[in-house]
Amino acid sequence: MARLVMKFGGTSVANVERIRNVARHVKREVEAGHQVAVVVSAMSGKTNELVGWCREASVLHDPREYDAIVASGEQVTSGLLAIVLQDMGIPARSWQGWQLPISTDDAHGSARILDVNGDALVAGMENGGEVAVIAGFQGVNLATGRIATLGRGGSDTSAVAVAAAIKADRCDIYTDVDGVYTTDPRIVPRAKRLDKIAFEEMLEMASLGAKVLQVRSVELAMVHKVRTFVRSSFTDPDAPELKTAGDPPGTLICDEEEIVESEVVTGIAFARDEAQVSIRRVPDKPGIAASVFVPLAEANINVDMIVQNISAEGFTDITFTVPTADFERAKATLAAVKSEVGFETIEGATDVVKISIIGIGMRSHAGVAAKAFKALSERAINIRAISTSEIKISILIDAAYTELAVRTLHSIYGLDA
């Protein structure tokens, strides 16, 4: 017998019929003798509708009331799933974030989880085999008693946090895909599903463009070593392969030690929402980098892929990337400190894409970067900027070459199925 947390996203609970399908997945695990907690998102499209109502009511709305409104979508779903499970003869009850409680800080709209009290869930499982159906995406700031939501994708984070709190053997993330792929199958049809991927690799892929899991959920899973499966909710719950012992079909996100022999490269991620900013003829002297990047940090603009040229005649150029949504703000922030920094001009581009090569096997293999650069040069793809870490190489290129570059890199590292 195992203790499981099962998380179902918006498309999986889009209507009552799909909620019945989710209940069949839960019933399968209960009948196998497992203790089960379920975390659910709002029905597909419901959160957007609620957000729209808030904006219609007032553009400058109170974030505390915003959270009270948008958290209601998950409340509806958790109650409906509990009703359906009860109708199937399975003891179940719904839980809101504040009832456990899942305690958070007071950053309404993007709160961070501070603690999860899983005592009541464990007691229900052990004493009556009760299935806990938990509204994801939400918690409570105990100091104020107000509901706080965790930001988009927060139900993934809720699920992993609950799994850590109740010491679950596994956290299954059910979604509309059947696992994590080496890259986006819509770009590379020969992309293959990974059986296993290390926490660090998944964290890089999630932060660099892969949309399968929310970054914060992977961070939590890595810190607490919560074995996490990504699997499809649209598989027939009664399929024979789901009733066999061992790990279910999908992708296991786990500690590196569980992966016997790592591939040099695990996957290729890409992010289209990047913009390039360059400041020309910057005085090359101590403190200049701080005078450039401190104002950007104070404006809450995230900076990535910083490149500084070799100094010539006492001047240098600094190039970096920011999210496309922050491009104009970044230029305005720099323009405001132009006299202090002493640069000559600001240049920029939004028609760029960041492509990342990811793999823990890169730690012990030489020539990974050279292979990529050679392959891209043979296809006349110019590289604007490069950044590296132990397990990733990120390059910035013109957006027009996205598909060609991704397919090329996917092929040369032997990732094609």
> Omega into 249 within 30° of 0, i.e. cis?
no
Residues pairing with 304 in the sheet: 321
Q: What is the pLDDT of residues 377-392, one digit of tens each?
A: 999 999 998 988 889 9
Closest CA to 7 of 74, 70, 69: 74
Residue 409 pLDDT more than 60? yes
291 and 213 assigned to the same domain: no
- 261 occurs within a structural domain: no
Burial class (CB in 10 A: 0-12, 13-18, 19+), 283: middle
Is residue 75 in some structural domain?
yes
11 found inside a domain: yes
Number of domains in the chain: 2
Q: From CA 13, how far away is CA 150, in angstroms rounded?
A: 19
3-state secondary structure at position 200 = helix
263: Cα within 13 Å, side-chain hemisphere = 18
> Domain with 35 in it: what CATH number?
3.40.1160.10
248 and 287 housed in the same domain: no
Domain boundary among 237, 256, 275: 256
pLDDT of 209 reads 65
CA atoms of 43 and 16, how far apart (whole Å): 9
CATH number at residue 368: 3.30.2130.10
Distance CA 310, CA 46 (A): 52
Residue 47, phi then psi, degrees to nearest 5: -65, -40
Write the burial class of residue 89 (CB in 10 Å: 0-12 exposed, 13-18 middle, 19+ buried): exposed
pLDDT of 393 over the 70 cut: yes
120 and 207 belong to one structural domain:
yes
pLDDT at 256: 86
**pLDDT 10s digits, 137-150:** 999 999 999 999 99
> Of the residues 197, 230, 256, which one is the last residue of a structural domain?
256
For residue 210, which phi and psi values (nearest 5 degrees)? -70, 135
Domain termination site, one of 256, 279, 296? 256
Backbone angles phi and psi of 148, in degrees to 5: -130, 135
Domain interval for residue 280? 267-412
* Upper half-sphere CA count for residue 417 (Cβ side, 13 Å): 12
Q: What is the pLDDT of residue 367?
A: 87
308 and 195 part of one domain: no
d(CA 200, CA 208): 12
Residue 235 pLDDT? 82
What does the pLDDT look like over 31-80, one tens digit per residue? 999 999 999 999 999 999 999 999 999 888 899 999 999 999 999 999 99
Buried/exposed code over 298-336 (b: 16+ C-beta within 10 A; e: otherwise): eeebebbbebeeeeeeebbbbbbbbbeebbeebbebbee
- Res. 276 pLDDT band, cuts 50 70 90: very high
Each residue's pLDDT tens digit, 340-349: 888 889 999 9
Assess whether 314 and 167 both reside in one domain. Answer: no
